[in-house]
Amino acid sequence: MAAAKIVYKKEERLPLLGKEATDHGLGDKSPSELGGCMSNVFFSWLTPLLDLGNKRPLEFDDLYQLNADDRAAQISATFKKYWEIELTKSNPRLWWALARSFGAQFVFAGVLKLLHDSLQFVGPMVIKYIIAFLSDPTAELNTGLWYAAAIFVSGVVQSFSLRQYFFLCFETGLRFRSAIVTAVYQKSLVLAASARAKKSTGEITNLMSVDAQRLQEITNYLHAIWYALFQIGISSYLLYLQLGVSFLAGVIVMLLIIPATAAISQYMRTLQRALMTVKDERVKVVYEVLSGIKVIKLQAWENSFTNRVMQFRSNELERLRTYIYARAASSMVFNGVPSLVTVTSFFAYVYMGNSLDVGTALTSLALFNILRFPLFMLPNVINSLVEAQVSFKRLEEFFTMEEREPVTAGPLKVTSISLQHADFEWDSAQETDADENCQIEPILHDINIVIKDGTLCAVVGAVGSGKSTLLSGILGDARCARGSDIFKQCIKTALKGKLVVLVTNGLNFLKDCDSVVVLEQGRVVEQGTYQSLMDTAGGVLAKMMESVPDAPDKEDEVVEHHGENDEEIEARQRTESNRSDVDTDKANNAALIADEDRSTGDVPWSTYKVWIDACGGLCMGFMVIFFYVLTNCANLSSTFWLSYWSENAADTSHGQLYYLYIFMGLNAVVITLMFVQSLALYVTGLRGSTLMFNQLLTRVLRAPMSFFDTTPLGRIVNRMSKDVYAIDETIPANWGMLFGTVFSVITTICTVVYVTPWFSVILIPLGVLYYASQRYFIKTSRELQRLDSISRSPVYALLTETLEGLPTIRAFGVESQFAARNEIMLDRNQRAYFLNFSANCWLALRLEFAGTMVATSAALFAVLGHEANAGVAFAGLAGVSLSYAFNVTQSLNWSVRMLSTIQTQMVSVERVHTYTTMEVEAELNAEPIKQLELENAKWPSQGKVTFTNVDLRYRQGLPRVLRKLTFTIHAKEKIGIVGRTGAGKSSLVVALMRLVELDAGQITMDDVDIATIGLHDLRDKISIIPQDPVLFSGTIRSNLDPFDRYGDDSIWTAIKRANLHNAVTSLDDKVDERGQNFSVGERQLICIARALLKKSKVILMDEATASIDANTDRLIQDSIRESFQDCTCLTIAHRINTILDSDRILVMDKGSAAEFDTPAQLLKNPKGIFTNLVEHWRDDNAE
């Protein structure tokens, strides 16, 4: 059946954004404006930013703009052009569109990589030549100096080419990410309802976060496809020159190990995916708990939900424990392979009758280290390409999904909305092969509506009748499966004289509407003016209005009024108004939402102490460090033994196998220690993260409500997800890399100084240069990482908010403004990200120069000591020194980067510790003796409640919401609580439930001061039906009876009394997160059933039926009166008629009890607040 045509009359839209989104940077310069070719080669354009970062913490205003070609708007336009070309083809290819858009500089980066890889073989070959030079007493000095010069020149050129290669690849990846992020966002704005139903918010967010990031990172691996083969070919040839065919033994071992390492990598990925799955489940539960924290506290469910979260955390820790054992084992394998390959090759070399000399041994060792990288990287590259291919497919599927039909100008002149025989349906997100031909049942059937321009039309109906679906259909979000839908405009700059469609349960508003549409079971059963529908005998609306009782006639009241006289009321109101003004002045300095502290500068040592103490203290820390030192010493011993073996190869007292077996033993010790050091570190870190999460969860759930009122939910969830992840995995791993690189540098320096003592002459200036560079860099890098971190989540948050508010955005026609905002927020994040990577290039270039100076100096001093130390022994030691010196460059670079990264990540420990030390609520349970007294007295046995001079403010700095509030509620009384907005009605409930402790005064229940007992002792004895219905994922049973205290019969009785039996078919019916598979009204009914089941002596109802239609409200009120006959009931009224039969009415005004008497007594006062409220309600409901 053809879908209905949608025609809109062109009209000016009202933007949702506060001001027009503009595409301007926050800085005043870009890198391209700051220098020429040499500035780019040396990255010196970053120096002004680094200078500023050393003077003070950086802010976003300090950051350079992105170059024009790197800005999201330009990138989006470029990518869109080539993607639209691909869309004209039968098989659009996303990778080709990206390649055509941004591939030119990526190709040039490959040329630089080829230059670098060609020069990296200079070092290993020069080692052999220098050893030969040092072994020959007659060699000329100039020859040795040329060797040292070759080391220097090749090192410098390698540094420049490698840095530019990485920079160009990174910039290409950055453009990939910008293109994907903007494309995903823009596609989200135009998705058809059928396409949107197939993609959840989380799935679309993953496209923007995970898949876009994956395509950015793939740019670092694409060139590896060819350069890995190049490195393997050159290394194999040079190894053949050194060892002959025996080198094949090592290569064969590598080839045999590759499948094993690939399997290990796959297993690690499987473990990681499983770990992330349980982690996501735990974060989901945490989010749900924090979203409903008020209900959890009111119901005294903290312990239950703590246990629920800890069950998910236990599963996560079990997976994490398996993962860290596998991680330690894989680290041992990957790091132990060079030793295994070397031993195998040398064994074959010796077995074939060759004598191993030191030059051949150390040169081969260096070449095997080069060969190891491409051999083991290729499987990872292939896996990354496969994962990227999956991302390409996911993105291609999303980008080619059905789009919403574009809006066209219509010819309408008079009618604003006309629906003719329209069926509306929501497309199903699930499709099964079992029933491919099944049709989705429409939610609304045969809708016929005509609404004129400039009128106010009300849409009414019972809970679940389809009111919201009708509005969604008019806006185009619910699909119109049949009929025609002509829509001109719904929202303009003002409501007067404009068309308004009002969906409401407030039947009292209907008389002011120009027309009324009545829905019942998904169909329009009546349409017309209010009066014409009311005059229809037996009409549906007329029957609905019967459920709205008439207001009491105050002229018929003859009961004498004994309340305050008019003068007393006016005088007290003036006094309270003055008090309010004073308190409001005090509140001016109180922020509604506390700003999140952004750490700046160095992380204090106390934070490190917190983490170390959680991990087991200094003893555990020293034990981990000891294993790293021992591993480096064992590794150094292995290399020195190789040199010693080569020097004594001609010694006949020991055969070659003697030296070989000892060499094998030393390498076995190294491999074993690698596993032990990794395992010790990860287990220690896991101990710390376990303890810190337990403290965090306990403290957060015990935090006062003022904490949740002033702290955004996303911030708390971030502490319990991202920060916990950093403490679980990232921080221990980075500490391991830092220990490894630092001890490697120390080992190298000590070796070089031992072999060539004159090296110590330049050690001090090199050390000063290194320290200054890393301090100079770290201050800026740390802030750039923080700015990157805090600017990344808003990009994803905007997408989530956009998807949730998409109908509103479309209704106002502000898609382009939101797309522009997305580009600005993305550029803001990319600026920090781009500059942070560029700063790393700046540092790496300078540290690589320092590393080149170390290697050059080691070679130079060895050459200069040739005449005094000529011989095989010195040559062997010099070879060991050089082999270590060539590796120091990478270690220097990584040590600084890891130090910077750790300082940034330790902020997670600092933030978690802040939460674990914050104030908490009062004790949950009273002292055992007090509890025993309450149990023996069966407290509360009557339900008497007394407030005496109660003052309450939500926190310091805010005005008092209750002021000298005094009243007594007798046992079994039914009290209605009314008052204007802000009068203090809900605050009364807050005080009684001790969500906020009193400023002054006393509250007693059955003559027991509630401040002297535990929070659970109090809250567990009171049933509350809150204003906002909150459900938790699970089942109907778990939401009504989470502790399994009641039988099925009791639960079904509560369900029927709550008029919920039509919506619930089984106690095991699934409840989605936040009860999203139930309407708001149905959720409220479930909360009412929960209170009916509990059977407490004191019942609090905070506008409990505000989301329920009048007829259901009447049925619920009857059930409540019947079920709670022997209870004390406090009802905060949304509809006056629901509390008119109360024993007494408490009228709140400015936080005080303005009136408190029977309804009849209160209505005798013509100037009373309650009388005024009733008159307004009567006028609204008068026919």
**Is 148 or 528 the better-scoring residue by pLDDT?**
148
Across the range 1083-1093, mean pLDDT stands at: 83
Mean pLDDT lowest among 529-538, 626-635, 1017-1026, 1161-1170: 529-538
Do residues 757 and 924 touch, judged by C-beta distance below 8 A? no
Q: What pLDDT score was predicted for residue 436?
A: 39
Q: Give the integer Cα–Cα distance in Å for 898 and 777.
A: 12
Do residues 924 and 1016 touch, judged by C-beta distance below 8 A? yes
Mean pLDDT lowest among 679-693, 745-759, 1112-1126: 1112-1126
CB proximity list for 488: less than 8 A, separation 6 or greater: 8, 9, 11, 410, 412, 415, 416, 417, 453, 499
Across the range 166-183, mean pLDDT stands at: 94
Does the pLDDT at position 947 exceed 50? yes
Say yes or no: do domains 415-427+441-556 and 926-1021+1130-1183 share a fold: yes
pTM of the model: 0.73
The DSSP secondary structure of 237-261, one letter per residue, reads: HHHHHHHGGGHHHHHHHHHHHHHHH
* Interaxial angle between packed helices 618-647 and 605-615, expressed in degrees from 0 to 180 and rounded to the nearest 10: 90
Q: What pLDDT score was predicted for residue 686?
A: 94
> Domain segments of the chain: what residues?
6-10+72-400+607-916, 415-427+441-556, 926-1021+1130-1183
Q: What pLDDT score was predicted for residue 5?
A: 38
**For residue 485, what are the β-bridge partners?**
6, 419
Confidence of residue 23 (pLDDT cuts 50, 70, 90): very low
What is the CA angle 19-22-28, rounded to 5? 125
pLDDT digits (tens, 9 = 90+) for 287-319: 888 888 888 898 888 888 898 899 999 999 999
Q: Give the integer Cα–Cα distance in Å for 328 and 736.
A: 11
Task: Provide the token pair at 148.
Answer: 């040292």
**Phi and psi torsions of 456, nearest 5°:** -110, 115
Q: Give the integer Cα–Cα distance in Å for 1103 and 677.
A: 61
Burial string for 160-170 (b: 16+ CB within 10 Å, else e) reads bbbbbbbbbbb
Do residues 447 and 503 touch, judged by C-beta distance below 8 A? no
**Phi and psi torsions of 415, nearest 5°:** -70, 135
pLDDT digits (tens, 9 = 90+) for 643-674: 888 777 666 567 778 888 888 899 889 989 99
Return the closest-CA partner of residue 563 out of 1159, 1175, 976: 1159
- For residue 758, CA distances in Å to 155, 754, 763, 771 come to 22, 9, 9, 21
Confidence of residue 952 (pLDDT cuts 50, 70, 90): very high
Task: Provide the token pair at 258.
Answer: 């590759």
501: part of which helix (H) or strand (E)?
strand 500-503
Confidence of residue 581 (pLDDT cuts 50, 70, 90): very low
**Phi and psi torsions of 693, nearest 5°:** -65, -40
Q: Give the integer Cα–Cα distance in Å for 1142 and 1131.
A: 9
Return the closest-CA partner of residue 518 out of 500, 531, 536, 533: 533
Q: Give the integer Cα–Cα distance in Å for 211 and 398.
A: 12
Does the pLDDT at position 448 exceed 50? yes
Q: Give the integer Cα–Cα distance in Å for 622 and 618.
A: 6
- For residue 1013, CA distances in Å to 65, 672, 1010, 1065 come to 59, 58, 6, 40
Return the closest-CA partner of residue 830 out of 165, 282, 72: 72
End-to-end CA distance of the chain: 44
DSSP 1013: S
Do residues 1051 and 1093 touch, judged by C-beta distance below 8 A? yes
Q: What pLDDT score was predicted for residue 565?
A: 41
Across the range 701-713, mean pLDDT stands at: 86
- Residues present in the chain in total: 1183
3-state secondary structure of 947: strand
Q: What pLDDT score was predicted for residue 498?
A: 59
Across the range 156-173, mean pLDDT stands at: 94
* Alpha carbon of residue 625 to chain centroid: 33
Does the pLDDT at position 437 exceed 70? no
Q: What pLDDT score was predicted for residue 4?
A: 40
Return the closest-CA partner of residue 851 out of 753, 770, 739: 770
Does the pLDDT at position 799 exceed 50? yes
Does the pLDDT at position 590 exceed 70? no
pLDDT digits (tens, 9 = 90+) for 775-791: 788 888 888 888 887 88
Q: What pLDDT score was predicted for residue 119?
A: 94
Confidence of residue 12 (pLDDT cuts 50, 70, 90): very low
Confidence of residue 908 (pLDDT cuts 50, 70, 90): confident
Does the pLDDT at position 687 exceed 80? yes
DSSP 594: P
Highest mean pLDDT (candidates 14-28, 220-234, 652-666, 857-871): 220-234
Confidence of residue 480 (pLDDT cuts 50, 70, 90): low
Q: Give the integer Cα–Cα distance in Å for 673 and 472.
A: 65
Does the pLDDT at position 676 exceed 90? yes
Q: What pLDDT score was predicted for residue 433?
A: 37
Do residues 133 and 108 touch, judged by C-beta distance below 8 A? no
Does the pLDDT at position 936 exceed 80? no
Residue position matching structure tokens 């064969």: 252
Instruction: Give a three-class secondary structure readout of 644-705.
Output: HHHHCCCCCCCCHHHHHHHHHHHHHHHHHHHHHHHHHHHHHHHHHHHHHHHHHHHHHHCCCH
Q: What pLDDT score was predicted for residue 583?
A: 44
Across the range 921-925, mean pLDDT stands at: 87
Return the closest-CA partner of residue 15 out of 1064, 820, 935: 820
Across the range 1066-1094, mean pLDDT stands at: 80
Amino acid type, 764: I
Confidence of residue 640 (pLDDT cuts 50, 70, 90): confident
**Phi and psi torsions of 792, nearest 5°:** -80, -45
Task: Provide the token pair at 565.
Answer: 């006289």
Average pLDDT of every residue of the chain: 80
Does the pLDDT at position 496 exceed 60? no
Across the range 628-638, mean pLDDT stands at: 91
964: part of which helix (H) or strand (E)?
strand 960-969
Q: What pLDDT score was predicted for residue 84?
A: 92
Residue position matching structure tokens 């051949």: 360
Q: Give the integer Cα–Cα distance in Å for 76 and 830.
A: 14
Percent of residues, the chain, with pLDDT higher than 70: 82
Q: What pLDDT score was predicted for residue 409?
A: 44
Q: What pLDDT score was predicted for residue 535?
A: 79
Q: What pLDDT score was predicted for residue 868?
A: 58
637: part of which helix (H) or strand (E)?
helix 618-647
Across the range 1057-1066, mean pLDDT stands at: 79
Amino acid type, 75: I
Mean pLDDT lowest among 88-97, 773-782, 989-998: 773-782
Do residues 705 and 294 touch, judged by C-beta distance below 8 A? yes
Q: What pLDDT score was predicted for residue 503?
A: 67
Confidence of residue 823 (pLDDT cuts 50, 70, 90): very high
Return the closest-CA partner of residue 1041 out of 1028, 1024, 1054: 1054
Confidence of residue 406 (pLDDT cuts 50, 70, 90): low
Q: What pLDDT score was predicted for residue 1141?
A: 82
Do residues 826 and 72 touch, judged by C-beta distance below 8 A? yes
pLDDT digits (tens, 9 = 90+) for 224-277: 889 988 998 999 899 999 999 998 898 888 788 878 877 887 888 888 888 888
Domain 926-1021+1130-1183 fold is Rossmann fold (3.40.50)
Across the range 41-48, mean pLDDT stands at: 88
Across the range 737-762, mean pLDDT stands at: 86
Residue position matching structure tokens 């190789």: 642
Q: What pLDDT score was predicted for residue 696?
A: 94
Torsion over CA of 1025, 1027, 1033 and 1034, rounded to 10 degrees? 20
Mean pLDDT lowest among 103-107, 725-729, 800-804: 800-804
Residue 840's CB is within 10 A of a number of other CB atoms, namely 22
Mean pLDDT lowest among 56-65, 296-305, 710-719: 710-719
Q: What pLDDT score was predicted for residue 582?
A: 37
**Is 444 or 485 the better-scoring residue by pLDDT?**
444
Do residues 336 and 677 touch, judged by C-beta distance below 8 A? no
Q: What pLDDT score was predicted for residue 109?
A: 95
DSSP 603: P
Across the range 404-421, mean pLDDT stands at: 58
Across the range 484-492, mean pLDDT stands at: 34
Does the pLDDT at position 987 exceed 60? yes
Q: Give the integer Cα–Cα distance in Å for 282 and 727.
A: 16
Q: Give the integer Cα–Cα distance in Å for 992 and 1010.
A: 8
Do residues 93 and 86 touch, judged by C-beta distance below 8 A? yes
Task: Provide the token pair at 188.
Answer: 């989200």
The domain defined by 6-10+72-400+607-916 carries CATH number 1.20.1560.10: yes
- Which numeric CATH code is attached to 415-427+441-556? 3.40.50.300
Residue position matching structure tokens 């004289």: 497
Mean pLDDT lowest among 23-37, 501-515, 576-590, 940-954: 576-590
3-state secondary structure of 986: helix
Does the pLDDT at position 374 exceed 60? yes
Q: What pLDDT score was predicted for residue 505?
A: 63
3-state secondary structure of 63: coil
Confidence of residue 96 (pLDDT cuts 50, 70, 90): very high
Do residues 1145 and 1155 touch, judged by C-beta distance below 8 A? yes
Percent of residues, the chain, with pLDDT higher than 90: 23
Confidence of residue 183 (pLDDT cuts 50, 70, 90): very high
**Is 1060 or 187 the better-scoring residue by pLDDT?**
187
Confidence of residue 612 (pLDDT cuts 50, 70, 90): very high
pLDDT digits (tens, 9 = 90+) for 1037-1048: 888 888 777 888
* Interaxial angle between packed helices 872-885 and 122-135, expressed in degrees from 0 to 180 and rounded to the nearest 10: 160
